[in-house]
Amino acid sequence: MITAAAGKANCPGVSIEPGRFEKDIQETIARIEAGNIVKRIWDRDHTVWKPGPGEITNRLGWLTLPETMQGEIPGIEAFAGEIRSAFDSAVLLGMGGSSLAPEMFADIFGADIDFTVLDTTVPAAIRAAAQRLDPQKSLFIVSTKSGGTVETISLFRYFHHLFAGKGSGFAAITDPGSTLAATASQLHFRRTFLNDPDVGGRFSALSFFGLVPAGLCGVDIRLLLERARGAMLACRPETPVRDNPGAILGAAIGAAARQGADKLTFFISPRIFSFGHWLEQLIAESTGKEGRGILPVTGERPGGKYGNDRFFVFIELEGEEYPEALHAEASRNGPTARIRLPDVYALGEQVFIWEMATAVAGHVLKINPFDQPDVESTKRAARSVVAEIEKGSFALPAPDSFGSGVSVFGAAGKTPADALRGFLAKAGGGNYICIQAYLPMTPGIDASIAEIRGRLRMTGATVTSGYGPRYLHSTGQLHKGDSGKGLFIQLTAEPEEDLPVPSSQISFGALTMAAALGDRKALLDAGRPVIALHLEDPKKGLDYILQALKDL
């Protein structure tokens, strides 16, 4: 067992059972020690990852957030108190790093205000949010680092058009000099928080992007930052590498991934389950590039058949530990890491530890963990679709097959069921299957997708899922940038009732379809196999898919 326990910082340690990777992991740790890698990270030495400084030296502000954000606490707390006294509801409009940390904090800690994260362009979800809000008692937080994220700005336009002048409030979180900062000034937003531009989106949970929504929800952000500071000290170069939880964890998952155990499978206690959604983006978008990558697997039901490409991670809250039998089963199938949290505020420590681990794993994999070179390919293709829609020249191609309300694109078969089963014949050990659902996020659809994931595991492949377009800002980079082991099942549906995007010639339904088609094209251009299933009715369509998979 390899254990990192940073005693002086009072930070939960990491225990690793390396299994067959004992030699690889120990040698990796030794190289990190010999290369003085931890100190060089803290010295902002870009050569830890790449010869040039591009998108590295200006992306390391996260290292000191637990200290630099201390001075911002009074302002955040004052804003949160003001908003909670003036409004009943708060809606955060954002994507990726701007939405996943707020969602995590709200889900895990609860909220002192009716708090919603809206990170979708699916019309049904937007309409449902609008219908339940009181225009006179609702605050909208527009959150985007670049200030121009198309989904976020479209949502802002919709709610500003619908609610402005009716008592609603607007606030912004963005980088200095962004177009959103200018818009917020022109429209007299209640408050604009300008973030440190040297903090990348997926590393921004402990910046304004995470802390303002957390404070609004009633999280004790002072305690959260103090716990994060403990982890920061534990990961400093003064701590020996073998006692550094971030360095040990990053070395282990990086070394195992290089040897083929690149499916990082998380078992996370129910109370802190949403931490996995944040981890997905951090790990996938940071490591999935240049033909390499670590696939985060969250929300998978324990048990079943595992391949030899797994690395299991248990993140357990005291009182919500997994059975020892599951730990033993995981250890038989691959290396494991175990992290025990005494309380929910240890989440502050975990955010920093995993950020450091991701930076170290990037070094081990010889990639830049702070860029996202393949994200733009989907955006370009989606913009092309939008342009065709605006000109009135867009039309879906004829399906390869149709039946039972399901149209199939990208796979041959007499029926959609035949096409899907033929497509899945390519799957097996070492592969992963990703379900990309451009559907409303409802409990019923969640349950159906979970059932589909369970049946797809019978192929021997690892199975993940994500809702579109939000996954494009989370795992989408890895899908195009990794070694090409993925097979992709894209699910789309006609909206029951579309919604226009104000000051635009397109609708939210068209924007959703453009994102799906754009990502499909980007995946195909990258040589990834994709089957697209267009459902006339989401529930009936998902039931049909489940029936088609019954004999796998």
pLDDT at 96: 97
Is 440 found in the same domain as 354?
no
Q: How many CA atoms lie within 13 A of 481 on its CB side?
A: 29
Q: Would residue 370 count as lying in a domain?
A: no
**Same domain for 462 and 382:** yes
Q: What amino acid occupies position 302?
A: P
Within a domain: 75 = yes
Identify the domain boundary among 224, 252, 279: 224
Q: Which helix (H) or strand (E) element contains residue 388? A: helix 375-391
Read off the tokens for 335: 């290396």
Mean pLDDT of the chain: 95
Q: Are residues 391 and 355 in the same domain?
A: no
SS3 130: helix
Give me the number of domains the chain comprises.
Answer: 3
The pLDDT confidence band at residue 429, using thresholds 50, 70 and 90, is: confident
Q: In this structure, what is the dihedral angle of CA atoms 383, 386, 391, 396, given to the nearest 10 degrees?
A: 120
Give the domain-ending residue among 192, 224, 256: 224
User: Looking at residue 140, what is its pLDDT?
Assistant: 98
Domain annotation covers residue 54: no
Q: Which domain holds residue 425?
A: 375-548
pLDDT value for 51: 98
Helix (H, G, I), strand (E, B) or coil at 542: helix
* Shared domain check, 195 and 73: yes
- The kind and range of the H/E element at 173 are strand 169-174
Strand 310-317 with 336-341, pairing: parallel
The average pLDDT across 464-488 equals: 97
pTM: 0.96
Whether 130 is in a domain gets the answer yes
Nearest to 92 by CA among 84, 281, 473, 101: 101
Report, as an integer, the average pLDDT of 278-301.
97
- Residues paired with 313 in a beta bridge: 266, 337
**Residue pLDDT, tens place only, 387-414:** 998 888 888 889 999 999 999 999 999 9
Domain membership flag for residue 351? yes
Q: Which contiguous run of DSSP H or E holds residue 22?
A: helix 22-34
Mean pLDDT for the stretch of residues 267-293: 98
Beta-carbon contacts of residue 132 (< 8 Å; ≥ 6 apart): none
User: What CATH number did the domain enclosing 85 receive?
Assistant: 3.40.50.10490
204 and 249 assigned to the same domain: no
CA distance 5 to 234: 9
Are 200 and 63 a contacting pair, CB within 8 Å? no
Q: Confidence band (pLDDT; 50, 70, 90) for 428?
A: confident
pLDDT higher than 70, residue 505: yes
116 lies in the same domain as 218: yes
> Cα dist. 493→117, 386, 540 in Å?
22, 18, 11
**At residue 5, does pLDDT exceed 70?**
no
pLDDT class for 177, splitting at 50, 70, 90? very high
3-state SS, 231-279, equals HHHHCCCCCCHHHCHHHHHHHHHHHHHHCCCCEEEEEECHHHCCHHHHH
| Integer Cα distance of 224 and 269 in angstroms | 19
H or E stretch covering 284: helix 275-287
Region 285-314: mean pLDDT is 95
pLDDT of residue 6: 43
Q: Are residues 496 and 438 in the same domain?
A: yes
Residues 242 and 361 in one domain: yes
In whole angstroms, what is the distance from residue 17 CA to residue 30 CA?
A: 17
**Pick from 199, 224, 249: which residue ends a domain?**
224
pLDDT tens digits, residue range 104-126?
A: 999 999 999 999 999 999 999 99
Check: CB of residue 91 under 8 Å from CB of residue 116.
Answer: yes
pLDDT, position 148: 94
In a domain, residue 467? The reply is yes
Ramachandran bin of 360, using left for φ above 0, alpha for ψ from -120 to 50, beta for the remaining angles: alpha
Domain membership flag for residue 50: no
In the three-class reduction of DSSP (H, G, I as helix; E, B as strand; rest coil), residue 100 is classed as helix
Pair of tokens at residue 530: 């994709």
| DSSP codes, 503-540 | TSSSBHHHHHHHHHHHHHHHHHHTT--EEEEEESSHHH
Tell me the per-residue pLDDT of 23-63, one tens digit each, with 9 for 90 and over: 999 999 999 999 999 999 999 999 999 999 999 999 999 99
pLDDT for position 12: 64
Model confidence at 167, pLDDT cuts 50, 70, 90, reads: confident
On whether the CB atoms of residues 235 and 245 are closer than 8 A, the answer is: yes
As a whole-number percent, the residues of the chain with pLDDT over 70 amount to 98
CA angle 22, 28, 34 (to 5 degrees): 135
Q: Are residues 95 and 114 in the same domain?
A: yes
Same-domain pairing of 385 and 320: no
Same domain assignment for residues 485 and 515: yes
Note whether residue 471 is domain-resident.
yes
Task: Specify whether 359 is located in the same domain as 390.
Answer: no
